[in-house]
Structure 1
Amino acid sequence: MTLLEDATRKGLTIATAESCTGGMVAAALSDPAGASAMFLWGVVTYSNAAKVDLLGVRPETLERVGAVSEEVAEEMARGARGRSGADIAVAITGIAGPGGSDHKPEGRVCFGLATRDGCTKETVEFGALGRALVRAAARDHALSLLSRAVTSAQ
């Protein structure tokens, strides 16, 4: 069963909050016919100001840990879920490249997943695969997180 079919059958709705993927997860979710039954909205918050204004990420969090952090991914996911009214929201923030630093290397992507049961967060080190491949890997990982959340939802 596809993510769309499973979410629709369970009556679950989804929202996305993306930074480094620039809307790739929202595009994947909205691509199949019938997507409007489960996909409410997606927001691309590339700038810190957009994260604050659109998702309610706290400026103090951005100042303390930076945009590429599990804390910001969690706040993005919580904000997307709360502001959209969705049952599940996924958030992505990372360094797609090129570049990065010793502290935050290229290919580091942080994810947040907010559900009725709370929020989880994780960091995946995809490595310096190049911008396109990091973004595609992050999209696919986010879709996998959503699929698992929908499958496990009651």
Structure 2
Amino acid sequence: MVLASTDPPEVQLAMNRTWHLPFRWVSDPDGSQLAKPLDVWNPERGGIFKPVVLAVAPDGREVFRELSRDFTDRPDDEPILAALESLGLDPVSVPPWSPDVEPQPSERAFTPPAFIPYFRAIKFNTGALAERMVDERDREQLLTEKGMAESFLAAFDEWRAEHAPDRR
């Protein structure tokens, strides 16, 4: 798995260390290396990646692509995992990321203490708004968003349990 963003490597390393991510990062500040060739560049939003999950087989075939509408719209894990499992590949252990840069957190970075209140607000607000909707399509979108927030909160509970400070 590779995460790509327009952030410089220093910011990516800080994010990696904050969240203990077992992934590689690729910095593509102008979108020329990945975003534009993959048709996921968003010049209207200041030149950033469109939110996308893309799985590519070793032979270069795309086996999964979901382009989201915005940063809150994320696919469920199951279709992604099914696409990856269909390749029949053995798991690969990735050594820790150690670029020749010092971590430099971004002011925009999402920190663990901000995670719970942010997604709790999404969960409760979308649930309340869904009750007001008369259009079933709009209601369904809000309930989908609520489900995403619930999924993120559950995943964060697991993450916290794995990364809890040792209190011995």
Normalising by the smaller structure, the TM-score range is under 0.3
Q: What TM-score does the superposition give when structure 1 sets the normalisation length?
A: 0.27
More strand by share: 1
| Higher relative contact order, structure no. (Cα contacts within 8 Å, ≥ 6 residues apart) | 1
